[in-house]
Structure 1
Amino acid sequence: MIEIKDLHKSYKTGKSELHVLKGINFSVKEGELVAIMGSSGSGKSTLLNILGILDEADSGTYVLDGVPIKNLNETLASQYRNKFLGFVFQSFNLINYKSALDNVALPLYYQGIKSKERSEIAMQYLEKVGLASHSHHLPNELSGGQKQRVAIARAMASHPKVLLADEPTGALDTKTSYEVMELIQGINDEGKTILIVTHEPDIAAMCKRNVILRDGLIVEDKYITQQRVTANV
Structure 2
Amino acid sequence: MIEITNLQKSYVTGNTSLHVLKGIDFSVKEGELVSIMGSSGSGKSTLLNILGMLDEADQGTYMLDNTPIKNLNEKIAAQYRNKFLGFIFQSFNLINYKTAVDNVALPLYYQKVGRKERDEKAMHYLEKVGLADWANHLPNQLSGGQKQRVAIARALASDPKVLLADEPTGALDTKTSYEVMELIQGINEEGRTILIVTHEPDIAEMTKRVVNLKDGRIIDDRLVNQIKASAHV
Common topology (TM > 0.5): yes
1:222 — aligned with what?
A: 222
User: What is the distance in 2 between the residues matched to 1:175 and 1:123?
Assistant: 26
Matches within 5 A, 1:160-179: 160-179=160-179
Trace 1:134-149 onto structure 2 (pairs within 5 A): 134-149=134-149
Matched position secondary structure for 1:49: helix
Q: How does 1:120-199 map to 2 (within 5 A)?
A: 120-199=120-199
Q: What letter corresponds to residue 169 of structure 1 in structure 2?
A: T
- What CA distance in whole angstroms lies between the structure 1 residues aligned with 2:107 and 2:72? 20
The answer for the alignment partner of 1:8 in structure 2 is 8
1: distance between equivalents of 2:196 and 2:232? 22
Match of 2:98?
98
Could you tell me whether the CA contact under 8 Å between 1:175 and 1:231 is conserved in 2? no
Aligned to 1:44: 44
| Deviation of 1:231 (Å) | 7.5
Runs of 4+ aligned structure 1 residues displaced above 4 Å come to none
8 Å CA contact 1:8–1:20 kept in 2: the answer is yes
Give a deviation string over 1:210-233, Cα, whole Å, max 9, x none. 000000000000001000011863
Q: For the Cα contact (< 8 Å) 1:3–1:27, is it kept in 2?
A: yes
Per the alignment, in what secondary structure is the counterpart of residue 230 of structure 2? coil
- CA positional deviation for 1:148: 0.1
SS in structure 2 opposite 1:230?
helix
RMSD: 0.7
Q: What do the CA deviations read for 1:60-107 (whole angstroms, capped 9, x no partner)?
A: 000000000000000000000000000000000000000000000000
Distance 1:87 1:229 in 2: 21
In the alignment, which residue of structure 2 is the partner of 1:110?
A: 110
The alignment status of 1:19 with 2:6, answered yes or no, reads no
What secondary structure sits across from 2:117 in the alignment? Answer: helix
Corresponding residue SS for 1:185: helix
The residue aligned with 2:82 is: 82
- Contact 1:182–1:231 (CA under 8 A) maintained in structure 2: no
Name the amino acid aligned to 1:147. K
What are the ranges of 5 or more consecutive residues in structure 2 without an aligned counterpart?
none
Q: Once the 2 structures are TM-superposed, how far is the Cα of residue 13 of structure 1 from its aligned partner?
A: 1.3
User: What letter matches 1:24 in structure 2?
Assistant: I
Q: For the structure 1 residues 52 and 173, does the alpha-carbon distance in structure 2 shift closer, same or farther, using more than 3 Å as the test?
A: same
Instruction: Kindly provide the amino acid, as one letter, of the partner of residue 79 in structure 1.
Output: Q
